[in-house]
Amino acid sequence: MATTDFFRNKVVAITGAGSGMGRSYATLLAAQGAKLLLSDIDADALDATVALLPSSEQGVAVMAMDVSNTEHWIAFKKLAMDEFAGCHMLINNAGIEGAAQPAWASTPEQLNRTMDVNFFGVVTGCRTFLPLLTAQKWSALVNISSIFGFIGTPNASDYCASKFALRGYTESLMVELAHVHPQVQVHLVHPGGVDTDISRSVRTAKFKRRFLTTPSDEMCQVVLVEVQRNNPRIVYGNHAKKTYWLSKLLPLMQLRKLLAKGLKLVDQEDYRQDHNGFK
């Protein structure tokens, strides 16, 4: 059974805590008595999150960081040791939406940036914090993939690639850790359409209005309950379970036709037959 005091006095590190689900994790966990180690690339947004936390004595430490920067991760780990002498849970929440263009229209630089943040940033976080997590009698590693870690959608080849890669990495890691450090729970989260700020560009405005509808507090509360239940795969949010089962049950030809309906939400200029990406 999930309990409201489960996280009391546990040290929880959260990336991307300046907005969206990261902010929701922070406020929900603070209300449950957790000690928080918060980071975000936007220092002002991070300060705004801290201002929303209930006043308490359990402790909050913050750091502005880019998760794609290894040195930042090392400093974040040092902050955990200096402020709290360790860490019980790492929530790898930080992510970006990607180029929001078809594969032929996006640049190698855009692909690299998406992979650096959404995939390699998480990998670096896992590797950096594993010594802290394995030192605890109980700990949890929570990696945020997406339902786009199940399916490839139009205008999201770089984003889907990063989330598919994260899914594979995390599924392997959970098998490996169960063999040598079974006290470290590993959770792979596949949010559906959650109302966050990840979709910020004009290109994705239609998508955001129609798809990102589940409140972030609701999504994060479900994740925290499922962590207590030690559920390794957490699928929740608008269209999440439907997408999961369609990816499992539909032949790829039918799935491709279904996903093509999403083309009506994208910029048709990128889908000209004479686009420069075909030259």
Give the CATH number, domain containing residue 88.
Answer: 3.40.50.720
Could you tell me whether strands 184-191 and 60-64 are parallel, antiparallel, or unpaired per DSSP bridges? unpaired
SS3 category, 14: strand
Q: Considering the chain, what percentage of its residues have pLDDT values greater than 70? A: 93
Residue 278 lies in a domain: no
- Among 159, 169, 236, 244, the active-site one is 159
Residue 117 lies in a domain: yes
What is the total count of domains within the chain?
1
Mean pLDDT of 32-38: 96
Residue 58 lies in a domain: yes
pTM over 0.85: yes
Read off the pLDDT of residues 69-110 as tens digits, 9 standing for 90 and up. 999 999 999 999 999 999 999 999 999 999 999 999 999 999
pLDDT classification of 245: cutoffs 50, 70, 90: very high
pLDDT surpassing 90 at residue 208: no
The 8-class DSSP code of residue 55 comes to P
Q: Which residues contact 238 (CB under 8 A, 6 or more apart)?
A: 192, 193, 194, 211, 212, 213, 214
Residue 274 lies in a domain: no
**Residue 244 is among the residues annotated as catalytic for this protein:** no
CA-CA distances (angstroms) from residue 243 to 112, 126, 166, 189?
27, 27, 18, 14
pLDDT surpassing 90 at residue 112: yes
Find the helix or strand (DSSP H, E) in which 164 lies.
Answer: helix 157-180
Around Cβ 112, how many Cβ atoms within 10 Å?
13
Q: What is the pLDDT of residue 212?
A: 75
Residue 33 lies in a domain: yes
SS3 category, 227: helix
| Spatial contact of 36 and 53, defined as CB atoms under 8 Å apart | yes
Domain containing 231: what range? 11-267
Residue 3 lies in a domain: no
SS3 category, 262: helix
Residue 229 lies in a domain: yes
Helices and strands (H and E) in the chain: how many: 10, 9
Residue 256 lies in a domain: yes
Strand order from edge to edge, sheet including 89-92: 60-64, 35-40, 11-14, 89-92, 139-144, 184-191, 233-236
Task: Tell me the two tokens of residue 222.
Answer: 């479900």
